Chains A and B, each alone.
Chain A
């Protein structure tokens, strides 16, 4: 069974870490990453950029609504995610539009990724 582990924390606190503090945390995490990777159990890992860089694409209205900022409603739940390579926000919005046409309702939050480690799962090996 593959599990997604979604990371939540206070953005103001994590964003306030000094470079040294941030590096220290990443270094400790790296130990865990390395072990899981060697065991062939680690899928892709992403560290997202701050929510201030996010754009929300509401596909429950027609036409869909593009809003600045992260997805902030509490009545919907996180059901899945995509990682897509895009030149810019417009291209990401075009992908969201296409996905939204296939599956209307709800919303997508488009959040750029700051750090990305590709999958180490054996089934993803190319």
Chain B
């Protein structure tokens, strides 16, 4: 790897922590961003010759802070900039800073940086865009590509989000224990939104958007480093790893969805699965189940099954029932119904599904699942109606194509059954 690629990696790795410290120092998102930007430029100029500093994060905070202070002073009285060599030689100051970074301050700093992106006034897409820009350091162009919108539209969206965050005021006081838990919950929800933004992409878009899943997993690991003993953080990271492990097997060459039961499991990413399973093992020891852990446990049961027919459906149905308790939602019940259909049959599943009709009438998967169950029960006419509604609600060509397969099969069967 070339020097410059190494530096890019180091800058990206240091970014959340460095930005978080600079934000605490300057209490202004834009100033902190400019300071980090300036420090990164100086790193690109200095590191290739001088070699990387012992602690790149501390160097970036130190240099960024000085650069921003300089710029403030320069604006005030046009004083000359100090030599960069002087700044980067201040090893003692760096070491001192590095030591303080290890403390609890740093954890609250990074949590704060993530938390301000989750302001409840911000719509989900703005939360995610802001986090990608500020915490992950993606360029506006990269974020625009991932959201499939134009660059200027994304620029506007981020600027608006920043203005709203600035108006709301950043909470700089050190959070109490309860507040810390609340912030962490909001941040976890945002990280999972980010993940789903990438994961729900359809076949054609998936390569463009799977980077969002990688960023979300990176944030999950960052949260784990900050909160190593929080079982829900383990659960969230495990859930994302186990789902993303299937990425290579989820679409066929034409971008059509391949259902999990039909996926080539040899294309699942073994290393991600191993990491996800290890995290669940750790989480379970805490005996504090939560929604992320339960969903991860479900994903783990799929990951542990060498073949689709080996899937432990009774346990999955039980886990969905537990999830209904932690996170009541008709979508969870719908998923439980799918598991129940494998253990008790379509009729039992339909009994669970029918009461959801009112709340899920506009939900693609509801009609898709219901159609499949009706089909299994031999109620072809009703199945056909459900599939038609599903197609009308499909958000992506891949979803529509998937339902069309069912309809084609129905028509083929009807043609076969009808007298010649």
Determine if B1 and A89 form an interchain contact, defined as CB atoms under 8 angstroms apart.
no
What are 15 A-B pairs at a CB distance below 8 A? A15-B221, A16-B13, A16-B218, A18-B214, A49-B271, A49-B275, A53-B282, A88-B281, A89-B278, A89-B281, A89-B282, A90-B285, A112-B275, A112-B278, A115-B271
Task: Check B10–A13 contact: CB distance below 8 A.
Answer: yes
**Can you list, as one digit per residue, whether each of B211-228 has a CB less than 8 Å from chain A (1) or not (0)?**
000100010011011001
Closest Cβ of chain B to A102, distance in Å, is: 23
Q: Is the CB of A52 within 8 A of B14?
A: no
Closest residue on chain B to residue A18 by CB atoms = B214
Chain A CB within 8 A of B260 CB: no
Task: Answer yes or no: A36 CB below 8 A from chain B CBs.
Answer: no
Is the pair B282, A17 in contact by a Cβ cutoff of 8 Å?
no
B220-241, CB < 8 A from A: 221-222, 224-225, 228-229, 234, 237
Within the complex, the shortest CB–CB distance from B137 to chain A, in Å, comes to 11
Given A68-B229, A69-B228, A89-B282, 11 new contacts (CB under 8 A): A10-B13, A12-B222, A16-B9, A16-B12, A55-B282, A67-B229, A68-B228, A90-B281, A112-B274, A112-B275, A112-B278
Q: Determine the distance from Cα of A8 to Cα of B255 in the docked complex, in whole angstroms.
A: 40
Cα distance A77–B12 in the bound complex, in angstroms:
30
Pairwise interchain contact A114-B275, C-beta atoms closer than 8 A: yes
Q: Which one, B229, B237, B275, B278, contacts A69 given CB within 8 A? A: B229
A66 close to chain B: CB less than 8 A: yes
6 A-B pairs with the lowest CB-CB distances in the bound complex, closest first: A12-B13, A89-B281, A69-B228, A52-B224, A53-B278, A112-B278
User: In residues 251-288 of chain B, which contact A (Cβ within 8 Å)?
Assistant: 271, 274-275, 277-279, 281-282, 285
Chain A residues positioned under 8 Å from B281 (CB to CB) = 88-90
B5 within 8 A of A: yes
Which residues 157-184 of B sit at the A interface, judged by CB distance below 8 A? none
Pick the contact of B282: A10, A15, A68, A115 (CB < 8 A). A68
Complex contacts, A88 vs chain B, CB 8 Å? 277, 281
Question: Which residue of chain A has its CB nearest to the CB of B221?
Answer: A52
Kindly list chain B residues whose C-beta atoms are within 8 Å of the C-beta of A115: 271
By beta carbon, the residue of chain B nearest A25 is: B1
What's the tally of chain B residues with a CB closer than 8 Å to chain A? 28
A52 touches B274 (CB 8 A): no
Q: Distance in Å from the Cβ of A4 to the closest Cβ of chain B?
A: 22
| Residues on A with beta carbons closer than 8 Å to the beta carbon of B228 | 52, 68-69
Q: How far is the CB of A19 from chain B (nearest CB, A)?
A: 8
Give chain A's interface residues, CB within 8 Å of chain B. Answer: 10, 12-13, 15-18, 21, 24-25, 49-53, 55, 66-69, 88-90, 112-115
Q: Which residues of B contact A114 (CB under 8 A)?
A: 271, 274-275
Residues on the B chain within 8 Å of A12, using CB: 13-14, 222
- Minimum C-beta distance from A47 to chain B (A): 8
Q: When chains A and B are docked, how far (Å) is the Cα of A17 from the Cα of B5?
A: 10
Q: Which of B14, B224, B277, B282 has the most CB of A within 10 A?
A: B282
Q: Report how far A12 CA is from B135 CA in the complex, Å.
A: 14
In the complex, how many angstroms separate the beta carbon of B94 from the nearest chain A beta carbon?
A: 16
Give chain A nearest CB distance to B313 CB in angstroms. 21
The answer to whether A21 and B5 have CB atoms under 8 Å apart is yes
* Distance, CA A53 to CA B14, complexed state (A): 21
In Å, the complex CA distance between A17 and B217 comes to: 13
The digit string for B1-44, where 1 denotes a CB below 8 A from any CB of A, is: 10001100110111000000000000000000000000000000
Residues of chain B within 8 A (CB-CB) of A25 are: 1
Whole-angstrom distance between the alpha carbons of A52 and B240 in the complex?
14
Question: In the complex, what's the smallest C-beta–C-beta distance from B47 to chain A, in angstroms?
Answer: 13
Residue of A nearest to B273 (CB): A114
Inter-chain contacts of B237 with A (CB < 8 A) = 52
A88 to B6, CA, bound (A): 35
Question: CA A53 – CA B277 in complex, angstroms?
Answer: 9
> Looking across the interface, which residue of chain A has its beta carbon closest to that of B228?
A69
Distance in Å: Cβ of A116 to nearest Cβ of chain B? 10
Which chain A positions have C-beta within 8 A of B282? 53, 55, 68, 89
- Chain B residues within an 8 Å CB radius of A112: 274-275, 278
- B218 & A50 in contact (Cβ 8 Å cutoff): no
Cβ contact of B279, chosen from A10, A16, A21, A53, cutoff 8 A = A53
CB closest chain-B residue, reference A56: B228
